[in-house]
Structure formats: C-alpha cells, structure tokens
Amino acid sequence: MSSSAENSPGTACEFTENLDLLRQTYFFSRLPLESLKVFAYLGTREKLNDGEYLFRQGEEDDQAYCVVAGRGCLERSDNGSRRDLREIGPGDFIGGLTLLGEARRLYSLRAVGEIVCLELKREKFAKAVQQFPDQMPRIFRAVVEAVVSWEARFLLELGGDCGRCLPRLGVSLL
Amino acid sequence: MGRADRPIVRRSLFSWVFDGNLGWQLLLLAVIAVVVVARVLPLEMQKRIVNQAIHLRDLDRLLLYCGFYLAAVLLANGCKYAINILETLIAQRVLKRMRSALFDHILSLPLSFFRDTQPGTVVNAIAIELVPPSNFAGSAVSTPVANVLTLLAFAGYLFWLNPLLAAVSLSIYPAAMVAIPFLQRRANWANQKRVDLSRIFAGRIAESIGGMHEIHGHGAYRLERRKFDRLAEELRKIRIVWSLYRYAVKGANNLFTGLGPFLVFLMGGYLAIRGELELGALVAFLSAQEKLYDPWRELIDFYQVYQDGAVTYRRTMEFFDVAPEHAREPSGRPSVELDGRLEVKHLTFTTESGIRLLDDVNLELNPGEHLALVGFSGSGKSTLALCIGQLYAYGEGQVMIGGQEVAALTKQDMAANVGMVFQSPFMFEGSIAENLLYATEAAAPEGEGPSRPSLDDIIAVLHHTGLFADVLRFGLNTVLPAGSHPELARALVRVRHKFQDRYGEKFRDALEFFDENRYQLFSSVADNLMFGAPHREEFSAARIGRNDYFRRFLEREDLNPLLLEIGETLARQTVGILGNLPPDAVFFEQSPIPAEELPRYKAVLEHLRRGPRNLLPPEDAHSLLELALRFTPGVHKMAGMGPKVQAVLLEKRGRFRSAVARDLPDAFAFYAASEFIHSQSILNNIVFGNLTTASSPVLDRITQNIIQLLIERDLLETIVDIGMRYNIGSKGEKLSGGQRQKLAIARAFLKAPRLLIMDEATSALDNRSQARIQNLLETRWKRRSTLIAVVHRLDIIQNFDKIAVMKAGKIIESGSYTELVARKGALYELIGRK
C-alpha cells in the first residue's frame, strides 16, 4: 500500500515527482495508486524557453499539461488583438478535457521565462485507460465536479458583473 | 474436381479424407494389409513352437519358427510406424488445406459479419478447432480398416483353432459393448455437473476476495466461511461421484479383459485335459484373446475422435456459412477500366435490424470532380461512402461508376479503379515500404508481377503527404552494423563535423554530446562503462552481460554489488508500474524490461522477497545485472541515478579503457569524433551524442538542419531508403495516429485511382499536415481523380466542387460552397454551429 516501502531509499527521481504532481490535480486525484503510477510513467517532461508556445489558439492539441516549474501565460487573440488572461504556475493542470476528446484550443499558452511541464498525450492516456476501465467513471465525475464548481465560483465572485454575457452563462448545464 | 466449386463451409468432413489424398490412402491400405498378416502370424508360430518344436524337441524347427516370429514382430512394428507416419502426413495435409480454404473464405465474408464476430473466434476456429477434424481425416480410413481387419483376423483364427472356445471367449464383448458406454455416459454427466459447479465455486471465491474490505469491515469471516463450505461440500460430493464412474469404466474394462483369459483357461483347460485341444493351440488362444483388446480399444478411441472431429467441424463450418457479397476475381476477362463518372440513384441502405441508414440518395459527379459529404455524426456520410466503395452491399437503388453497376463488379475491378482511405486506417506488420505498396500490389492482377512504382514516384508521394520527414527520422534512427555501408559511414562522419561546426552550440540544450569525461545520462550503464563500439560480437550490448572478460572486470572492480542494487531498484519500480499491463509499445518504449521479460523479473522479485540479494540464485543475479547494464536514466525515468554513482561509473570507464588497451587492443573502437560508431544510430552519429528531448518543435529544427547537410552531401535519398525499411510493428503500433493516416493516404495516392474515397481521412493530422493534404487534393488530384470525401471539419471544404449535406440518411442540400452559403440553409447553419 505505502509507496515508501516500495521505493528503496535514494530513488527519488522524476517518476516519483511526477506521481506527486498528478496526485494533486483534480483530474487524477481520485485514482488509486496502481493506475496513477502508469499515468505518471507515461508523462514526459518538456522544457520551453521564454516566449515559446506550449499550444496555440485554433490548434488541435492532443495533450494535457501539468506545470512542474516556471510560469506560463494564457492568452487569447480576437480580431488580431492579443490579450493576456492569466498566469499559471507550478502544480497547475491544463487540458484535462483534451484527454477525453478532440477539441481545438480556444487559448494559447506561452512560456514566461523558462517553464518545465509534464505532458501527457491523449493517445497514451487512452491506451492506459483501457487497462483501467473502471477508473473512467471516477475521472468523469471529477471533470463534472470541476466544471460545476468552476462556474459556481465564477457566479459567486463575478456573477454580478456579467452584464451582456448573462444570457450565455451556464456551461455547467451542458 | 467438382468439390472445388463448392464453398468450403458446405463440404462434408468425409470429402477431405480422400480429396487430394487418394494415393496416400491407398498406400496406407496396402501397409495395413501387411500389418494384419504380420499380427496374426506370431500366434500361429507360438502354436507351432509349443506343439512341434518343443513337444518334438526339434531345435531346427524352434529356430525357424522363432525366426518367423521375430520377422513378423519386426514387420508389424515397422508397418505400424509407417502407418502412423502416413496418418500424420494425411492429417497435416488436410489441416493445411482446411485452414487455407477457410481463411480464404473468411477473407471474402461481408464486413457486417465481422461486426458481430470476435477476432478470437476466427483465430480459435482456424488455429484450434480444425485440428480434431483433420486428425479424424488422417485416421478415417486406416484406423477402422486396420482394427476391424485385425479383429476379424484374430476372431477367424480363434474359430479356426476351436469354434466352441472362440464363441465362449468372444461372448464377453457384447456385454462390454452395453456396460461400458452406459458407465461412460454417467461419468460424462457427472463431469458436466462438476464443471458447472467449479465455475460457480471459482466465481464465489473471486467475489469474496473482491469484497475483502467488506468482510474485514464487518468481521464476517464466519459468514463467508459458511457460504464457502456449502459449495465446497457440493463440489466434494460430485467429484466423488465423478471419480467413482470414471474408475468404474476403467474397472469394467479391466474386468472384461481379465475375464477373457479366465474363460479360456476354464473352458480351454477342460478341453485340453480331455485331449480335445492341443497345448499349443491353448497358448495361441490365450495370446489372441489378449491381443483382441488392443484393436477393440483403438476402435473405441477412434469413435471418440470421430465424434470430436465431426462436432467441431460441423459447428465451425456452420458458423462461417455466410455467402460473400461479391465475386473476388473477374472470370475470363481482365479487370475493367472505369472512368471516374459517378452516379448514385435512389440508393437505400437498410441494416439487418431494419434501421434505414440511407434513404433515396441521389448524386452525380463528373470524372475528376471533388465532393465533400458533410453533416452530423450518424447522418449516413460514411455509410454512403462505403456503399460507393462496395464495402456495404446496398439493397435498393443504383451506384454506377463509369457507367457500371457497383454491385455487379468484382472486388478486383474495384481495387483496380478505386482508392480508399479510412478514418482509422489499419497497417500491417512489415516495413513502411511494404505498407506503402499494399494497395498497388493488391490491385495488380493475379499472376502478373505488380508494377512497382518508381522510387521517384514513391519519394514524391512521401513529400506530398508529409510522410517524408517521418521516414527520414526512421532512417536516422537506424543503426548501421559494422561493414554494412562503409562508404555511407565515412560520409556521415563528414556530416558530423559539419553539424558540430554549424549547429553544435545551437542545440546544446537538446543534445548530450559524447564526452569521455562526463557520465552520459542518455546512454546505458554498459555503454557508459565501455564508451566504445565493440568490434567483436561477444562485446555487443545483447551479449555483454555474459561476456567473461567483462564479468571478470566487474568482479575485479567490485562493481557487482552496486549493479545488483541498481538492477533491483529498477526491477521493483518497473514491475510495480507495468506489471499488469499488456505488451503494448506505448507502455514499454520507456521500460528497461521488455514485455516478454516481465515474468522473469517478477520471479526474481519473488525470490528477493524470500532472501537477501547476495544469496540470489546465479540466474536471478544475472538478470538483475543485465537490467542494470541496460539502465539509461534519461529514458528509464522510473528510477534515478545519483551523482555519486555516476562518478563511480565514470571512474570505472577509465579503468575499463586501460584494461582493454592492455588485454584486447583490437576489441573496441572507443568513441572518437573521427570514427563512425556502429553501435549507435545514424542520428546519434551525426550529432555525436544523444537527443535529450522528445519535443517535436526541437526535433523538427534539428532534423531540418540535418536534411540540409544530407542534401549537400547527396545522402538524403539513401537515408530515406533506409527509413523505408523501418518495421512499423504489429498493426503499425510503432507509428502515431497521424503517421498511420499519412501512410494510408500515401498508399492510396500511389495507386492513382480513378475514384478516391476518403472517410475523415485527415482527422488525426495537425493543422499543417491537414492543410498540406487539402492543398494537394486541389492542385494535383482535381480533374484527375473523382473524390468523395467525408468531412468533419468544415473549414476545409470551400474549394470542393460540390458539397452534399446529409441528415438522417438523406442528402438535404447540395451545390457549391458559395451557393450553399448564399442559400443560408443547412450548411450555413452547420458552419454557424461549429
């Protein structure tokens, strides 16, 4: 049961760090260690330099990202003008939905300084999930809860400022 | 032979016995005739030895009869061996023919058949279920003939010796014929019950184990134990009954064979005492009586073989008794050449369960026109495309290609004129080149050698589809064994120098250069220690762990404890992660333990649980050592390697080098910037190091620069040619989804078909690749090939000649993009929604 019993001392390595990182994400946190290990193993780390893009708006990206170190900035371009939305940093998890199905990116993610991310490709995720079919409902539940609580928080904090956007609220009703 | 026309699934089992085996079967009968005589002869000799030789104390006769006896025994056994060989020969011939014929039949079954059929069922039928029928076919003539003849010969001989005694001793067989089958049926019944109950029993145990936390939580040990006991008790009872019947069958058999001699002694002894039977005849009688049992048993066994064979044969053939929807080859004419005109009239397609997937579809395309089929999922786009491609047999309406009805064309006609790319294309085990030529070779008429496309055509298609970079990368990842391409190796060293000069600094982050004074995290421990390419096979990566010289070095330098520790950690971590996963490349490409060796390491870990590392059996210790030598921290991320260990290994590298220089100066070529390294890939040779990243933008930039250098040296085509030989693995598993799609498009393009059907053929491609294919279709294939493309993404359809919007099996709107958008109908709405 305990992972410390399995890992003899002196093996602190990328894999264990990846495992800890994934365990903290909403997406993977409910999975038992057995399957979590496989996802942590299948992830790869990439380092990007300042100004490089992890993904771009309009692209059909096929992976999810967990920031290991450094910072990135989410941006959106409309009619040629670029706006920075917010920064993300270590521990942030982006693109869980990408693992579940194909979708075009609505935003771009740009490295601000050097950034290291743990990346998990949809193809690998799908292969692994096939081995743990009973975990899929847990993942779906986590995603549903994340979407609902995201919108709940949004309404709580910013619902009053919505104005013209009001008729389009309700992503949790999808 | 008239049978050849009948589909295999309608052939009787008996037809296989003689068909094509007549000569062998006749030979078999001839051998059987000899064997029957050779079996009876010893009986007569026995009689004569006792009656004449011994009784008359005639040594010459004794030797003569014994000689005959010996000859008969040798002949009988030799013939029996020959019979077995002939039976095996016939059985294996039949098996091969049955398998080929059935596989061929299965290949032409309609696609709908495979929707309801598990691949395992087909595998099982061909690999396993055809074995009993073929075994039957092998022995169908010989066993009954040989044994019935033997029985008759023995019985005849007995009657000839003494009819009364013969009648008495043979009287037990009718009784056996009634009793034994009865007991056997009871045993079968009990066995069936046992099997059923065992299944329930296993399920119950599994359930208890699965719900262990509930049992512990409730302290329900007694409860579970009681449930278990009830079943165990039932199982106990039925197993006893089953065993009783089984032993009863055996016992009855033994009883009947034992009773034979008893009757002969009783009756024969009485007759002999009264002087009505010679002693020799009695001996012969006893022998014959005993020998009756063998043919008898063989006949009973044969009956079982027949039953097994007949039942599995009937079931198998019934299962596959489905008629193909189209003829495969045209008879008496070459494949037709169609022009690319397509007409679809009132086409309706209904599934077996009555769901109407296409409803009165009408469509017309001139040769070379391009049509995009769009609409929601389930609107019938793919079904329409597959009906046009003859993969689905439509019920009503017409599909005409070049004025010919598709339903009436053969598969070969279609293959010669139509190219298809599916959404999830399938690749077969083999090289890129083989898969690329798959469609071209399949379309070539039988008997004619395929007209292979030229290398220029192939390279052009690779460029067009964007597969070129992938193939080049496979080529760059190839290891050139020593002596295979000496010219190329020399040229690549020159490329290496150029690369270092121009780009060495630029890619510092993405590469780990070979450096004598640094531990290489992206090379294996063995490579780090040797730091050179072996000239001799015995020092190769695969054999280094068993190399005596190397092992003595490890011993001398006291490296074994460290390596065993590394091996154990790595085994523990890897088995912990991958222990229960299937042998898929996705899981094992970053694993130091290949899938097939996983059980071995599980066993080693099991042994480690029982005792300390230094007491491991030598084989286990060796496995751990091998694993440690493979360990490449940059790739096998499940374990780390601290700087202290790196320093130790680095120091040993120097010691290994001086040892080799002293003992085996010609065994290694140590890594040097002026030498090609035959144990490393072409890419590693050019960059003189290892890649440290899998990020495609970086890889692309490196590849681009290398391409430039290769073009300058005129080496590009050579490397691509090497890349074309890359084996893509079972189902093409070593390729990404996008690479598989590009390969599928390339193989269809290479055939240059009149009609091209693409069913969401670019869905797995990135934007750039998709745009490239789209551009290619417009510039190169428009007006050359008629195209029907099922399209999901609406941003690529502007330049199609026609667009047909489908909904619920109907085309609800068709026309050019501008027309339809101007009309503000279904397409307009679809675009808006996306």
Residue of A nearest to B565 (CA): A8
Nearest to A13 among B572, B637, B736 (CB): B637
Number of residues that this document lists for chain B: 834
List pLDDT tens digits, range B494-519: 999 999 998 888 888 889 999 989 99
List pLDDT tens digits, range B416-461: 999 999 988 888 989 999 999 988 888 887 766 556 788 888 989 9
Residues of chain B neighbouring A47 (CB-CB closer than 8 A) = 509, 693
Burial string for A141-171 (b: 16+ CB within 10 Å, else e) reads ebbeebeeeebeeeeeeeeeeeeeeeeeeee
> Which residue in the block uniquely carries the two structure tokens 């904090």?
A157
- Is A129:A121 a contact under the CB 8 Å cutoff? no
> Which residue in the block uniquely carries the two structure tokens 């681009």?
B704
Strand-pair partners of B435: none
Test A58 with B584 for CB contact under 8 angstroms.
no
Residue of A nearest to B795 (CA): A58
Span B690-697, average pLDDT:
81
Q: Is A46 on the interface with B (CB under 8 A)?
A: yes
H/E segment holding residue A54: strand A53-55
The answer to which of A4-8, A99-103, B215-219 has the lowest mean pLDDT is A4-8
CA of B6 vs chain A CAs: smallest distance (Å)? 43
DSSP B260-323: HHHHHHHHHHHHHHTTSS-HHHHHHHHHHHHHHHHHHHHHHHHHHHHHHHHHHHHHHHHHT---
A151: containing domain: 11-124+132-158
Q: How many structural domains does chain A have?
A: 1
Q: Is pLDDT at B119 greater than 50 in this prediction?
A: yes
Handedness of CA B366, B372, B374, B377 (dihedral sign): positive
Q: What is the CATH number of the domain that holds B43?
A: 1.20.1560.10
Test A128 with B587 for CB contact under 8 angstroms.
yes
Q: Is pLDDT at B343 greater than 60 in this prediction?
A: yes
Residues B307 and B354 in one domain: no
- Is B350:B112 a contact under the CB 8 Å cutoff? no
- Is B761:B422 a contact under the CB 8 Å cutoff? yes
Q: How many structural domains does chain B have?
A: 3
Residue B597's pLDDT is 92
Q: Please state the φ and ψ torsions of residue A72, each to the nearest 5 degrees.
A: -135, 165
A42, part of any domain: yes
A117, part of any domain: yes
CA of A4 vs chain B CAs: smallest distance (Å)? 12
Q: Is A87 on the interface with B (CB under 8 A)?
A: no
Residue B241's pLDDT is 94
A173, part of any domain: no
Nearest to B816 by CA among B365, B359, B342, B386: B365
Residues B288 and B349 in one domain: no
Residues B312 and B376 in one domain: no
Q: What is the CATH number of the domain that holds A31?
A: 2.60.120.10
Three-state secondary-structure class, residue B378: coil
- Mutate which: B507, B568, B573, vs A, most A CBs within 10 A: B573
What ipTM was assigned to the predicted interfaces of this complex?
Answer: 0.84
Q: Is pLDDT at A162 greater than 90 in this prediction?
A: no
CA A140 to chain centre: 14
Test A8 with B695 for CB contact under 8 angstroms.
no
A3, part of any domain: no
Residue of B nearest to A61 (CA): B766
Q: What is the largest CA-CA distance in chain B?
A: 122
Residue of B nearest to A56 (CA): B767
Test B697 with A13 for CB contact under 8 angstroms.
no
Residues B650 and B520 in one domain: yes
CA of B642 vs chain A CAs: smallest distance (Å)? 8
B815, part of any domain: yes
Residues B292 and B363 in one domain: no
Residue of B nearest to A119 (CA): B695
B348, part of any domain: yes
C-beta atoms surrounding B384 within 10 Å: 30
Q: What is the CATH number of the domain that holds B811?
A: 3.40.50.300
- Mutate which: A2, A3, A4, A13, vs B, most B CBs within 10 A: A13
B454, part of any domain: no
B259, part of any domain: no
What DSSP character marks residue B334? Answer: P
B588, part of any domain: yes
CA of A59 vs chain B CAs: smallest distance (Å)? 7
Burial string for B475-502 (b: 16+ CB within 10 Å, else e) reads bbeeebebeebeebbebbbebbebbbee
B197, part of any domain: no
Residues B312 and B403 in one domain: no
Residues B40 and B122 in one domain: yes
CA of A148 vs chain B CAs: smallest distance (Å)? 23
Nearest to B637 among A14, A38, A128 (CB): A14
In this structure, are strands B786-790 and B668-670 parallel, antiparallel, or unpaired? Answer: unpaired
Test B572 with A8 for CB contact under 8 angstroms.
yes
Test B639 with A13 for CB contact under 8 angstroms.
yes
CA atoms in the 13 A half-sphere facing the CB of B526? 23
- Spatial distance between the Cα atoms of B571 and B639, rounded to a whole number of angstroms: 10
A174, part of any domain: no
Nearest to B350 by CA among B396, B405, B398: B396
Residue of B nearest to A14 (CA): B637
In angstroms, the Cα distances linking B816 to B372, B780, B803 are 10, 20, 6
C-beta atoms surrounding A50 within 10 Å: 12
A55, part of any domain: yes
Instruction: Please provide the average confidence, as pLDDT, over all residues in chain B.
Output: 88
- Spatial distance between the Cα atoms of B426 and B731, rounded to a whole number of angstroms: 6
Test A58 with B767 for CB contact under 8 angstroms.
yes
B214, part of any domain: no
Q: Which two tokens stand for residue B98?
A: 């049955």
Residue of A nearest to B586 (CA): A124
Strand-pair partners of B405: B400
A8: pLDDT confidence band, cut at 50, 70 and 90?
very low
List pLDDT tens digits, range B278-326: 888 888 788 877 778 788 888 878 887 888 888 889 888 999 999 888 8
Residues B313 and B349 in one domain: no
Test A127 with B640 for CB contact under 8 angstroms.
no
B540, part of any domain: yes
Q: Which two tokens stand for residue A156?
A: 């709580």
- Spatial distance between the Cα atoms of B518 and B678, rounded to a whole number of angstroms: 21
B583: containing domain: 515-670
Residues of chain B neighbouring A34 (CB-CB closer than 8 A) = 580
Contacts of B560 (CB under 8 A, 6+ apart): B554, B621, B625
